[in-house]
């Protein structure tokens, strides 16, 4: 079993929780001590943004992702060719001026497929992470706030889900339910929510003991109101960090699924799917344009997201020595 | 101490039951009627009552909870079902695959520890230097590049380009099995596997050590006149390694996921590869057996982690 | 009061000269200690009094070089101990002094001990780190004897116990045992009783007194509690906002305070031995150490200043006033202020005049 006060799963949950709690608490402290100590009034959000700006890698990554997003949205305009257009005359041909990244085993233009592939990755990444974060936040808030047996049940669920080898079960579920982007998003979200839930619960537990919550309670605010106004605002910063990291995970998962042939199916372009071709030694050796571009695409996107997550974490935690 | 262990086991129980229940639910969700699976079309058409009788044979007409209990009973007897694909007991299919997976994942984890922890310690002690920064970025990259891509690159560089190492499999056919041969086959996949784990290990060790170094008792040790290395080793390191045991346990699911992919890319004959084959051939009993075993293993390793933590940290034993 | 304290011509054991400590952060710098000078003689008990943030703990931590080095920057000095400057000493030599010549007792014994090692081993470590020739068993015997000396019951058994198995008072005793293990010439006790219950506080103070008598060590006692000062100190430094505002012997401090802040501290002491109409509380808030006003740091809260321009523009220097040193532009008016406040409070707030 996973200890309740221990870290979550493969993400830096523990470090994040620590940072999150101190960030949340520090942010709140700044708010309340603000009047006493004559600091120029700066909302913790603004302080966060300033610090983020100082993190060069995070900034570059943000720009990169923004460009990637634009490229994905305007893919039909940006791509030089139809990604599904089969050209039987040039199968696996090397890069030329016509096909800047060459063609694949079915004669399709690699560059266009890379551009369209961004759609799949970014959609899955965002949708899965946001859904997981949403579900996780809801359950985490409830668990942390109501405590008692509701809390125990939710946490046991979290433990169970985290014990399962998610990759295998995801593979299984996608195999059963069919490999559409929607299914993939749902299934991935299904396994990512426990992480978000854990963090939100930790934050809620810490925050609910704070004086301003007790004060709100004493003045008769309903639980729901308290949850919404006070605790939710404290939870937002660590939640942003978690969501970023969850989306990185989601993209990697989708890529793995497609690579194994069990995710997004051709002819739909997906970076992982393009790497599927690289399983033969021949391809590896003689046709590097088939597998290097998609791999680099995935790696750079996930790296960018991780840098942003790192930047966010630094931005929201004033206490970390960096 | 004993009381603590018993308590942890008691808490683990509902989670175990939950895992089993969820697996059973997954079983029910699978398409296809188990009763018809191993029947040929002629058999089915020739005898209309056959399906019903098979169903009764397999106990499929009993209410679900009863089936669940019966299923649990079979599990307890070590019966993991029969493969749809090959019609042999799943246990037979699994047995030869267990060792290779353990060797691969075990080595991967050991490499990750042997490199990751010292690097994390060094990064913490040299905070904010180029080394610290580089190791941080390095960990980030290791975690961002997909495992299978790393595997492909590794194969390309070491197997195709340099020709030093074999590109897959566990043994070279035709020559007698030897340690060296195994090592040559093991090194590449285990190293790529370790990369995925190393990132978190470096990060966590570094953060943990930094946190401990900020604690009061470290200042006290310094005030007593303990030399710097003494402070780090005797007062900081041991304390910072305690939370690491939990990290190790918690990374196990990631380790298993990585193992599945690595076994696939490197055609390593382990359980991971078996699962993929099973999924491709819709061999549900096999898939479920592996799912369940891994979940139980994760549970088990978490328990070990708790025990280790309790051994290292006297405060927990209360 | 010890006889030694009366005689101020003996050379000081430790002399701090113009100490400055800054904490440099990302966005701002905090001047925690702004030019502090004092000394302590062998066998003397020096009390340092002030609120949190006054710089008392920071200045004392910098003596042994215990401040984390970014972000702390220590300038000024020298801090002279046995003829050497502690601030410029090589780390190896400083280490030889830590725990041996100068020892520190920390505020929170729960966090000051390493939770995963036994108390006994930690005390033994203090001994063996300074004398490699001491064997494990000898160190063990000595540690056990030290534990007995400080009043920890069943010391042999307690040697093998962990910090969380001790009670708060016992832990502090163990910490004292660890500090005196090598018979230091100077003991620095940083708020040794703050984390303890009141009844235990008295015991610990008694213990410190006994230890001092046995070892003849000079003691620096940091606290925010004037009552503790009254019990044990020979001389007192009052610190505010990183500076010493008053430096005097124990009786004059209570009988004729020479700084409005000191007066405020005295006035806010609830007394059970005389009738009071009200407690005098110092108006305002402690200053923001990152944004200090140009003149006297206490001026915004000072009843004596009354907004006078000298207070707002020029920081006061420590000057002699009778037997005390005081940093106040209008120290001559202190007697009048004392009378005014006493009227408000309903009793003569100078102690010892009832």
**pLDDT band per the 50, 70, 90 thresholds, residue A12:** very low
B53 touches C: beta carbon within 8 Å: no
Question: Tens digit of pLDDT for each residue in B166-212?
Answer: 888 887 777 777 778 888 889 999 999 999 889 889 988 998 898 89
Q: Do C291 and A36 touch (CB under 8 A)?
A: no
Q: What is the DSSP letter of C132?
A: T
Burial of C243 by CB count in 10 Å (0-12 exposed, 13-18 middle, 19+ buried)? buried
Per-residue DSSP letters for B20-40?
A: HHHHHHHHHHSSS-HHHHTS-
Phi, psi (rounded to 5 degrees) for C248? -160, 175
B239 touches C: beta carbon within 8 Å: yes
More confident call, B145 vs B281: B145
**pLDDT band per the 50, 70, 90 thresholds, residue A34:** very low
* Tokens 């830096």 found at: A12
B126 touches C: beta carbon within 8 Å: no
Structure tokens that stand for B44 in this block: 């089915």
B91-113 per-residue burial string, b: 16 or more CB within 10 A, e: under 16: eebbeebeebbebbbebbbebbb
* Tokens 């669920």 found at: A157
Strand C243-249 with C235-240, pairing: antiparallel
Residue-level pLDDT at A130:
93
Residue-level pLDDT at A206:
76
How far apart are alpha carbons C323 and C328 in whole angstroms?
A: 15
CB C298, CB C306: distance < 8 Å: no
B85 touches A: beta carbon within 8 Å: no
Burial of A34 by CB count in 10 Å (0-12 exposed, 13-18 middle, 19+ buried)? middle
Whether A35 shows a pLDDT value over 70: the answer reads: no
C291 touches A: beta carbon within 8 Å: yes
Whether A11 shows a pLDDT value over 70: the answer reads: no
Beta bridge partners of C81: C14, C84
Mean pLDDT of chain B: 82
HSE-CB of C48 using CA atoms within 13 angstroms: 28
Q: What part of A 237-256 touches B (C-beta under 8 Å)? A: 248, 252, 255-256
Instruction: Using an 8 Å CB-CB cutoff, list chain C residues near B216.
Output: 106, 108, 111-112
Question: Which regions of chain B does DSSP assign to beta strands (E)?
Answer: none
C-beta atoms surrounding C20 within 10 Å: 18
HSE-CB of B93 using CA atoms within 13 angstroms: 26
CB C341, CB C280: distance < 8 Å: yes
Structure tokens that stand for C116 in this block: 């995963």
Cis peptide before C71 (omega within 30 of 0): yes
A163 touches B: beta carbon within 8 Å: yes
**pLDDT band per the 50, 70, 90 thresholds, residue A295:** very high
- Chains touching chain A through at least 3 C-beta pairs below 8 angstroms are B, C
**pLDDT band per the 50, 70, 90 thresholds, residue B38:** low
More confident call, A31 vs C307: C307
**pLDDT band per the 50, 70, 90 thresholds, residue A33:** very low
Phi, psi (rounded to 5 degrees) for C217? -80, 145
3-state helix, strand and coil shares in percent for chain B, rounded to the nearest 5: 80, 0, 20
Whether A21 shows a pLDDT value over 60: the answer reads: no
Instruction: Using an 8 Å CB-CB cutoff, list chain A residues near C70.
Output: 321
Q: Which residues contact A19 (CB under 8 A, 6 or more apart)?
A: A238, A241, A313, A316, A317, A320
CA nearest neighbour of A204 among A149, A138, A154: A138
SS3 C106: coil
How far apart are alpha carbons A53 and A55 in whole angstroms?
A: 5
**pLDDT band per the 50, 70, 90 thresholds, residue A248:** very high
How far apart are alpha carbons C213 and B310 in whole angstroms?
A: 43
How far apart are alpha carbons A200 and A128 in whole angstroms?
A: 17
For C262-266, which contacts have Cβ atoms below 8 Å and span 24 or more sequence positions?
A: C262/C238, C263/C334, C263/C337, C263/C338, C263/C341, C263/C349, C264/C301, C265/C49, C265/C226, C265/C238, C266/C226, C266/C349, C266/C350, C266/C351
Beta bridge partners of B82: B89
**pLDDT band per the 50, 70, 90 thresholds, residue A317:** low
Structure tokens that stand for A283 in this block: 């391809």
Q: Rounded to a whole number, what is the distance in Å from the CA of B299 to chain A's nearest CA?
A: 5
CB C340, CB C316: distance < 8 Å: no
Question: Tens digit of pLDDT for each residue in A55-64?
Answer: 778 888 999 9
For B13-20, which contacts have Cβ atoms below 8 Å and span 24 or more sequence positions?
A: B14/A156, B15/A1, B15/A156, B15/A159, B15/A160, B15/A163, B15/B299, B16/B296, B16/B299, B18/A156, B18/A157, B18/A159, B18/A160, B19/A160, B19/A163, B19/A164, B19/B292, B19/B295, B19/B296, B19/B299, B20/B72, B20/B75, B20/B292
More confident call, C198 vs B57: C198
Q: Do A9 and B254 touch (CB under 8 A)?
A: yes
Q: How many residues does chain A have?
A: 322
Q: How many residues does chain B have?
A: 318
Best mutation target among B5, B148, B240, B275 (most A Cβ atoms within 10 Å) is: B148
Nearest by CB: C288 against A38, A51, A321: A38
Give the residues of chain C that fall short of pLDDT 50: 1-5, 354
Structure tokens that stand for A63 in this block: 């720009």
How far apart are alpha carbons C153 and C155 in whole angstroms?
A: 5
Mean pLDDT of chain A: 76
Residue-level pLDDT at A24:
41
Residue-level pLDDT at A53:
60
CB A290, CB A110: distance < 8 Å: yes
- Give the residue-averaged pLDDT of B263-288: 84
Whether A23 shows a pLDDT value over 50: the answer reads: no
CA nearest neighbour of C49 among C178, C229, C187, C203: C229
Quickly count helices (H) and strands (E) in chain A.
Answer: 14, 0
Q: Do A39 and C288 touch (CB under 8 A)?
A: yes
Residue-level pLDDT at B34:
57
Structure tokens that stand for C148 in this block: 């007995």
Residue-level pLDDT at A40:
38
In angstroms, the Cα distances linking C237 to C39, C108, C227, C250 are: 10, 23, 14, 10
CB A171, CB A261: distance < 8 Å: no
How far apart are alpha carbons B151 and B133 in whole angstroms?
A: 25
Instruction: Using an 8 Å CB-CB cutoff, list chain A residues near C285.
Output: 36-37
Quickly count helices (H) and strands (E) in chain C.
Answer: 14, 13
How far apart are alpha carbons C79 and A270 in whole angstroms?
A: 68
Q: What is the DSSP letter of B215?
A: S
In angstroms, the Cα distances linking B172 to B104, B177, B181 are: 17, 8, 7
Whether B100 shows a pLDDT value over 80: the answer reads: yes
Residue-level pLDDT at B294:
83
Q: Which of A43-52, B285-294, B296-305, C142-151 has the highest mean pLDDT?
A: C142-151
Instruction: Using an 8 Å CB-CB cutoff, list chain B residues near A168.
Output: 256-257, 260, 275, 287, 290-291, 294
- Chains touching chain B through at least 3 C-beta pairs below 8 angstroms are A, C
From A34-38, B96-100, B175-179, C292-296, the region with the lowest mean pLDDT = A34-38
CB A10, CB A220: distance < 8 Å: no
Whether A132 shows a pLDDT value over 90: the answer reads: yes
Q: Do A165 and B140 touch (CB under 8 A)?
A: no
SS3 C235: strand
- Give the residue-averaged pLDDT of B8-22: 80
Q: How far is residue A253 CA from its own chain's centroid? A: 11
Q: What is the ipTM of this complex?
A: 0.83
How far apart are alpha carbons C86 and C11 in whole angstroms?
A: 17
Nearest by CB: C291 against A36, A38, A321: A38
Element (H, E) at A248: helix A232-259
CB A311, CB A55: distance < 8 Å: yes
Nearest by CB: C106 against B216, B226, B312: B216
SS3 C247: strand
Question: Which regions of C26-87 does DSSP assign to beta strands (E)?
Answer: 29-40, 45-49, 72-76, 79-81, 84-85
* Tokens 């990060």 found at: B203
B127 touches C: beta carbon within 8 Å: no
Nearest by CB: B250 against A8, A272, A307: A8
Q: Which residues contact A3 (CB under 8 A, 6 or more apart)?
A: B246, B302, B306
* Tokens 């669940």 found at: B68
Residue-level pLDDT at C4:
42
């Amino acid at each position: 079993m996973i200890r309740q006060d221990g870290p979550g799963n493969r993400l830096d949950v523990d470090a994040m929780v620590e940072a999150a709690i101190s960030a949340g608490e520090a942010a709140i402290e700044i708010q309340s001590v603000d009047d006493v100590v004559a600091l120029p009034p700066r909302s913790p959000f603004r302080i966060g943004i300033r610090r983020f700006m100082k993190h060069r890698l995070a900034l570059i990554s943000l720009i990169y992702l923004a460009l990637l997003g634009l490229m994905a949205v305007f893919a039909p305009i940006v791509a030089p060719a139809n990604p599904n257009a089969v050209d039987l005359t040039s199968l696996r041909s090397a890069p030329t001026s016509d096909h800047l990244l060459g063609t694949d085993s079915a004669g399709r233009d690699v560059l266009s497929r890379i551009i369209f592939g961004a759609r799949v990755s970014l959609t899955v990444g965002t949708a899965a992470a946001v859904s997981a974060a949403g579900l996780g936040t809801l359950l985490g808030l409830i668990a942390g706030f109501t405590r008692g047996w509701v809390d125990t049940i939710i946490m046991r669920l979290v433990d169970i889900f985290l014990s399962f080898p998610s990759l295998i079960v995801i593979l299984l579920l996608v195999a059963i339910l069919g490999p559409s982007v929607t299914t993939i998003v749902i299934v991935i979200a299904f396994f990512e929510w426990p992480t978000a839930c854990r963090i939100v619960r930790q934050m809620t537990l810490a925050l609910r003991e704070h004086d301003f919550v007790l004060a709100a309670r004493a003045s008769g605010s309903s639980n729901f109101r308290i949850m919404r106004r006070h605790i939710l605002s404290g939870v937002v910063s660590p939640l942003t960090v978690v969501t970023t990291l969850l989306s990185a995970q989601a993209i990697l998962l989708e890529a793995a699924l497609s690579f194994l042939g069990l995710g997004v199916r051709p002819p739909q372009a997906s970076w992982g799917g393009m790497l599927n071709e690289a399983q033969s030694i021949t391809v590896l050796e003689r046709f590097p344009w088939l597998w290097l571009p998609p791999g680099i695409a995935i790696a750079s996107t996930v790296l960018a997201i991780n840098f942003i997550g790192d930047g966010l974490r630094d931005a929201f935690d004033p206490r970390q020595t960096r | 101490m004993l009381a603590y262990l018993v308590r942890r086991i008691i808490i683990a129980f509902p989670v175990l039951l939950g895992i089993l229940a969820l697996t059973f639910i997954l079983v029910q969700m699978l398409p296809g009627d188990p009763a018809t699976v191993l029947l040929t079309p002629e058999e089915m058409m020739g005898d209309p009552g056959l399906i019903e009788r098979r169903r009764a044979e397999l106990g499929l007409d009993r209410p679900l909870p009863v089936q669940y209990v019966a299923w649990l009973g079979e599990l307890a007897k070590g019966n993991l079902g029969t493969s749809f694909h090959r019609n042999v007991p799943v246990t037979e299919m699994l047995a030869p695959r267990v060792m290779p997976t353990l060797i691969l994942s075990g080595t991967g984890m050991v490499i990750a520890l042997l490199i990751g922890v010292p690097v994390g310690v060094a990064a913490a002690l040299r905070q904010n230097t180029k080394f610290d920064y580089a190791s941080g970025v390095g960990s980030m990259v290791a975690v961002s590049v997909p495992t299978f891509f790393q595997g492909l690159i590794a194969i390309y560089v070491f197997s195709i380009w340099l020709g030093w190492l074999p590109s897959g499999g566990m043994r070279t056919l035709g020559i007698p099995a030897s340690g060296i041969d195994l090592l040559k086959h093991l090194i590449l996949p285990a190293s790529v596997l370790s990369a995925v784990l190393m990132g978190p290990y470096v990060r966590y060790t570094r953060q943990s050590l930094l946190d401990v170094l900020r604690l009061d008792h470290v200042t006290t040790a310094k005030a007593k006149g303990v030399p710097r290395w003494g402070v780090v080793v005797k007062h900081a390191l041991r304390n910072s390694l305690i939370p690491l045991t939990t990290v190790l346990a918690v990374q196990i699911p990631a380790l298993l996921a990585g193992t599945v992919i690595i076994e696939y890319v490197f055609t390593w004959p382990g359980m991971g590869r078996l699962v993929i084959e099973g999924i491709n051939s819709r061999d549900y009993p096999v898939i479920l057996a592996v799912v369940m075993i891994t979940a139980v293993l994760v549970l088990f390793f978490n328990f070990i982690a708790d025990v280790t933590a309790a051994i290292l940290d006297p405060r927990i034993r209360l | 009061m010890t006889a030694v304290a009366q005689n101020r011509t003996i050379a000081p054991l430790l002399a701090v000269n113009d100490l400055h400590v800054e904490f440099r952060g990302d966005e701002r710098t905090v001047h925690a200690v702004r030019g502090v000078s004092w000394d302590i003689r062998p066998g003397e008990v020096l009390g340092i009094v002030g609120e949190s943030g006054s710089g008392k703990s920071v200045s004392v931590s910098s003596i042994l070089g215990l401040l984390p080095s970014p972000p702390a920057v220590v300038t000024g000095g020298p801090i002279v101990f046995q003829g050497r400057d502690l601030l410029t000493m090589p780390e190896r030599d400083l280490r030889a002094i830590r725990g041996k010549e100068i020892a520190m007792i920390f505020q929170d014994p729960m966090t000051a001990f390493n939770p995963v090692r036994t108390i006994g081993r930690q005390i033994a470590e203090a001994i063996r780190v300074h004398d490699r020739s001491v064997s494990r068993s000898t160190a063990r015997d000595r540690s056990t004897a030290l534990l007995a000396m400080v009043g920890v019951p069943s010391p042999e058994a307690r040697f093998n116990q962990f910090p969380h198995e001790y009670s708060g008072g016992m832990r502090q005793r163990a910490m004292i045992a660890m500090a005196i293990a090598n018979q230091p010439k100077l003991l620095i006790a940083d708020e040794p009783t703050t984390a303890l219950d009141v009844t235990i506080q008295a015991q610990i103070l008694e213990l410190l007194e006994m230890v001092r008598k046995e070892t003849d060590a000079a003691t620096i006692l940091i606290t925010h509690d004037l009552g503790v000062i009254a019990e044990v100190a020979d001389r007192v430094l009052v610190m505010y906002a990183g500076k010493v505002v008053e430096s005097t012997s124990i009786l004059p401090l209570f009988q004729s305070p020479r700084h409005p802040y000191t007066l405020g501290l005295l006035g806010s002491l609830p007394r059970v031995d005389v009738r009071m109409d009200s407690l005098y509380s110092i108006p305002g808030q402690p200053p923001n150490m990152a944004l200090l006003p140009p003149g006297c740091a206490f001026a915004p809260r000072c009843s004596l200043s009354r907004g006078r321009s000298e207070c707002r523009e020029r920081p006061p220097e420590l000057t002699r006033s009778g037997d005390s040193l005081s940093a106040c532009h209008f120290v001559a008016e202190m007697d009048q202020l004392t009378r005014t406040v006493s009227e408000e409070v309903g009793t003569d707030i100078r102690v010892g005049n009832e």
